[in-house]
Structure formats: structure tokens, C-alpha cells
Structure 1
Amino acid sequence: MSELLRVENLVKHFTSGGGLFGAPRKTVRAVNEVSFTVERGGSMGLVGESGCGKSTVARMLLRLMEPDSGSILFDGIDVRRATTSQMRALRQRIQIVFQDPYASLNPRRTVRQTLEEPLRVHGRGNRRSIADKVASTLSEVGLPVDVLDRYPHEFSGGQRQRIGIARALVLDPDMIIADEPVSALDVSVQAQILQLLSKLRKERGLSFVFVSHDLGVVRQFCDTVSVMYLGRIVESGPTRALLDTPAHPYTRVLKDSSPVPDPQARIRLSKIKGEIPSPTRMPPGCSFNPRCERASDRCRKEMPSLDEIVSGRRVACYFPLSTVSSDGNASAASSGNNV
């Protein structure tokens, strides 16, 4: 597969304080030098705890937030330097599905109005062709055409998410950024939506950036995964190999914290201490060092770079948990939690 998206050294900081009453200014380093690639037709998972910056990354890819620095190349086009007309064209090729399907839909618009609007804005066809496109797209996501004149409050959460997916599909994009698309849904509905996304990916050849905190969902849907902690990617690689044998201590903590659907399973949890540091007062060196039992003086002074330990596997750690072999798998014993 060829490369469709390349993100390099993406940075986004937010400041607060100052102003009239002279409160001290604070800087939140939400995203720090994040880099990854997505192959054409591939799916890249972006995982981490709430507040790690993964949704901020997702929004910057569409310039819903402007990055402070770094580069975003989509099919060879520099997204950050794109003109208004170029961004208009790019937004037809890159669409987003939001976490909360109810909040992302206009309660005053019917399903028909919601799905027709993108086509009208971008001048995609006449009245008849737009109506046909809306009907076929709605059918593609598993909803009957007789719901077109209903409003969002008349649907269940899963149905609303299907409408959100249809809105993303109606312009025939090349890539979908899915920002926690199933986290607000019941488990049974999650499975249905994931099956739908997998079907659409296969039939349409879609590429995905899939933001989630659920490693089980990521294992099922994503080819590769990047793990974020406090704004930085600390490990990346093929999904199954990375989750089976994580090399970074934080990845192991995430894996051990994920529920296992087996009441008889024996899980050996990784040791972790302390609280997540404040994003306005980041510790020197590795940001995970205050919580890591393997931390040394070097970890407390120097920030490790995200280095390749074998083809396709990268980790930002001076003392990784395992030795990774040439097939991308690591030799360390599993913790017993098979996410």
C-alpha cells in the first residue's frame, strides 16, 4: 500500500491566565512533536488516556484547530499551507465522525437536510442526483429511506451514529477521522458500528485515523497503533504485535487496565505509582518517569526519542520491557491480559 497521510512533528500548545487580573500564564503542551503515517486503505489507531491529546491531533488534521508547528501531508498536499480553495477540495476527501452523535447533529435539521447540505455546499450534482445520492448513502449505513424527514431526537444512539457516518460518506472521501466513534454507545451497538465501518473500509477502500481509549476496539479495527501519553507518542507499531508484547511501560499499563471478557482470567497488573503530572508542569526528562518503576537518573533528565527498535516498531524508552524480534513481536512474557 502507498502512503496517504504523513504527519511530522505536530505541535499544539494552549495558554491560560494573564489578562486583567494578572493571573500567572500557564502553557498546556497538548501535542508535542507527534509523527505518524497512514497507508492508503489502512487504519491507524491513536490511543491513550483522556487528556493525552489524541482528539486534538484528530482535529488538527482537518485544521479544525490550527497547529503551532509541524507538517501534515495528505496525498502529497501540504494541508497547513493549503489555500481556501485547496482546503475546500481537501475537506471533500477527508471527513470526520465525532464521538457524540447527538451533539454533532443539528437538532433543527432533518436527516435529509443534514445529508444534502454537504453536497449542495460543494456543488455536487443537481436536485435529483443529490436526492439519489442521499438515499443510496443512507441505505449503505443500514437505515431505510423513510427516515429522511425525521429529526435526530427520534433516533437511538446507534442510529444517530449511522447518520453521522452517512454524512461523512456522502462526499465519497478517501479518509475518515473517527474520534471515539463507539465510546458513547452500548457494547452490542459498538459491535454493529465497528462491523459497519469495517465493511465500508473494505468496499470503499477507505483509510482511517481511529481515535480511541479502548484497546479491544483498536485491536479489532486497526492495522497499526500509536500510543500517546501527555501529548507525545511513546510507542507505535503493528497493532497485534504491539498489544501482545508492549515495549513501553505505559503501553503495558494500558493493556493491563483493559477489561478482559473472561471472569476466570488471571491478570497480573503492572506496577504503577503516583498521579498523572499536570500538563502545565511537565517533569523534566521522560514524562512518564514519575510513575515508572524502571525510571533511572537518565530518564529524569533526558527525553527519550521515538526510535525504531525493529522495522515498523518504535518506542520512546531507554529501558524497554522487551526485546523485539525481526517479525515485530517481543520476547518478554505476556502479562496474561489478552486484549
Structure 2
Amino acid sequence: MNPLLQVKHLVKRFESGGGLLGGPKQVVRAVNDVSFDVARGQSLGLVGESGCGKSTVARTLLRLVEPDEGAILFDGIALQDANAAQMRKLRQRIQIVFQDPFASLNPRLTIRQALSEPLRVHGLGSAAQIDARIRRILDEVGLPQTALDRYPHEFSGGQRQRVGIARALVLDPELIVADEPVSALDVSVQAQILQLLERLKKERGLSFVFVSHDLGVIRHFCDEVCVMYLGRIVERGATEQVLDAPLHPYSRVLRDSSPVPDPTARITLNRITGEIPSPTNLPSGCTYHPRCARAQANCQANVPELRELSDGRSAACFYPLVEQ
């Protein structure tokens, strides 16, 4: 069976500088040759430091940000070639949950209006059918019916995120792109939202692209994970394998830097030196080589390809931590 989503050699660049203030234009390579697949019912995590390009990847999947190069295939349909009418139809099948539910909800609309608007735009049912549908969705995400006539500012952060999830579900999508959906919430509320998403994933057979910097969240929710560094995927594989025995030196540093919820655990941190290079002036060869203790001469001259090593695991490294 073909994957539900296929991303092939995705590239997104942004220009900075120039304009009224003058100065030379600079190019930021936010996403640089990214490829991955998402199977039906699978959740894929994108992790990395802030600025690594993971949220840009998420937005290009719905063409909220237009890609410069590469292909995005959803159920065999090339999204980058779809016109406005085709994209409107496809967005019934692909939805997004944003990081900040307060910023992503219109403060002038009640919850009833916010949830019914997508259904009216797509012409999905009469007024009575739309009302019945949004009531059912509210039950599904654990909100009371009394929420319908209230405004976003009347809810807590966790409740607003449930509204955001309800809005994503109301069109019965097949794929949900979740861009840091729990990072703005308290830890206890994070657990509730993750349990909700896990239940919806099983009950509806949903696929997820889940963006997060929290490896604990990724370990709990995602089947596979892609580790990103400066716009590239440096390691990809089953979540437990990547986090328990990383192959790429950067993946190990990222794993070791993540807090462990066990006060008795002893952690040996692998030190990392230097600063993250500027995305407008990337190093030659492997972009991680200025900070990598294992770097050698060819790391400075050549860009390592993301290659499969074993058991479906891939790493973009000439000297992986576990030689295959």
C-alpha cells in the first residue's frame, strides 16, 4: 500500500535584507532537501532545535507556505501542482492544529460559529445537520455543549486547544499536521491533550505529522521520528530506536539534553561546542561538522546523504555512532 503522504526533496528558501534599508540580500535555507513518508494511521514526529525548519515543513504540507522545490504527494495527488479549487477540496482531508490556540481562533466568533464555518464554506450539510455535527465533535473532544455560545477568551488554554482540535476534526480529515500542539500548555494539560489525540488517532485511523521539540512527547505519541538540523533531516527511524540508540551525533546530543522525569537517574551529557551556524551562511559539507567531535576532513568537504543503515533506520553521517 502506498503511503498517505510522500514528501520528496522539499526545499524552502526565504530572502532577508535589501529593500528600503539597503544592504545585500541574504537567503535563508529553512528547508533543504527534506524527504519522508507517512503511512495511513501512522504518526511521524519532526524534532530539532528552534529554527531547524520543522514548522516550515509543517506549513508547506498545506501550502500555507509555498515550497520552492520538491514534491508533496497526498494519496498520490501532487499538492504543489493543485490549483485553488483543488486545494480547497484537499484541505477537507488535511487539517492543522496550531501551537497557540488563542492566536489561531478568531476572538470575534463564538465556538459555534468557528466550528460551523468550515462546513458552510464546503457546503457540507443543512443548518440542522451542521449543528448536529459540531455537537458530536464537541462531545468527542471532551467539551460541554454549553461551550458553543462562548468566545475563545472564556476558556482555559487546554480548553482552547480542544476547540482547535475540534475545528480540525469537523471536516473528517485523514491527516492532521500538529505544530507544537502542547508546548504552550501546563504539563498536566499536555497529558490530557496527548491522550485525546491518541484516542482520536485510534478511533478515526488518523495519520499525524507531529512537530515538537519535546522528546518525551514524541516518544509517547509518534511511531517514527525525523531529527532535523539546519533544514535537513539527519536521522530517521522508529522512535524508540532513534531515541534509545541514536546513530547521528546530533541526535545523541539532542536526546541527552532532554530532561528525564526520574530524580534518581544519572545522565552523562555529551558536550557540544560552538554555536549553531547562521542559516544564511551555512558551513560547507556536513552542516554539523563545526560542532561535532567525530568530524573529519571529508565532513568539511562533502554533504552526507541520508542513507539507510539497518532495520529501516537512516542517518546522514559519514561516521555514525553505531557502524553498520
| AA matched with 2:299 | C
CA 1:160/1:43 → structure 2, altered by over 3 Å: closer, same or farther? same
Tell me the C-alpha RMSD between the 2 structures: 0.9
Q: Distance in 1 between matches of 2:176 and 2:138?
A: 17
Q: Distance in 2 between matches of 1:22 and 1:271?
A: 40
Verify: 1:66 aligned to 2:75, yes or no. no
| AA matched with 2:7 | V
| AA matched with 2:267 | I
Query: Hey, what does 1:300 align to over in structure 2?
Result: 300
Query: Hey, what does 2:46 align to over in structure 1?
Result: 46
Q: Distance in 2 between matches of 1:21 and 1:129?
A: 54
- Deviations for 1:261-285, whole angstroms, at most 9, x for unmatched residues? 1111110011210000010110101
Residues 265-280 of structure 1 aligned to structure 2 (within 5 Å): 265-280=265-280
Instruction: Provide structure 1 residue ranges, at least 5 long, that are not aligned to the other structure.
Output: 325-339
| AA matched with 2:149 | D
Q: Distance in 2 between matches of 1:239 and 1:2?
A: 21
| AA matched with 1:178 | A
Percentage of pairs with the same residue: 69
Q: Secondary structure at the match of 1:55?
A: helix
Q: Secondary structure at the match of 1:80?
A: helix
Q: Distance in 1 between matches of 2:211 and 2:205?
A: 19
Query: Hey, what does 1:227 align to over in structure 2?
Result: 227
Task: Please report how far the alpha carbon of residue 312 of structure 1 lies from its aligned counterpart in structure 2 after TM superposition.
Answer: 1.3
- Deviations for 1:128-152, whole angstroms, at most 9, x for unmatched residues? 0000000000110000111100001
Residues 15-164 of structure 1 aligned to structure 2 (within 5 Å): 15-164=15-164
Task: Please report how far the alpha carbon of residue 21 of structure 1 lies from its aligned counterpart in structure 2 after TM superposition.
Answer: 4.2
Q: TM-score, normalised by structure 2?
A: 0.99
| AA matched with 1:100 | D
Task: Please report how far the alpha carbon of residue 22 of structure 1 lies from its aligned counterpart in structure 2 after TM superposition.
Answer: 2.8
Task: Please report how far the alpha carbon of residue 311 of structure 1 lies from its aligned counterpart in structure 2 after TM superposition.
Answer: 3.6
Q: Distance in 2 between matches of 1:72 and 1:231?
A: 17
Q: Distance in 2 between matches of 1:256 and 1:96?
A: 30
Post-superposition, which runs of at least 4 consecutive aligned residues in structure 1 deviate over 4 A?
A: none
Q: Secondary structure at the match of 1:108?
A: coil
| AA matched with 1:223 | D
Residues 135-214 of structure 1 aligned to structure 2 (within 5 Å): 135-214=135-214
Q: Say which structure is richer in helix.
A: 2
Q: TM-score, normalised by structure 1?
A: 0.94
Q: Distance in 2 between matches of 1:261 and 1:233?
A: 27
Q: Distance in 2 between matches of 1:308 and 1:147?
A: 49
| AA matched with 1:287 | T
Q: Distance in 1 between matches of 2:175 and 2:20?
A: 44
| AA matched with 1:288 | Y
| AA matched with 1:32 | N
Query: Hey, what does 1:289 align to over in structure 2?
Result: 289
Instruction: Provide structure 2 residue ranges, at least 5 long, that are not aligned to the other structure.
Output: none
Q: Which moved more, 1:153-162 or 1:304-313?
A: 304-313
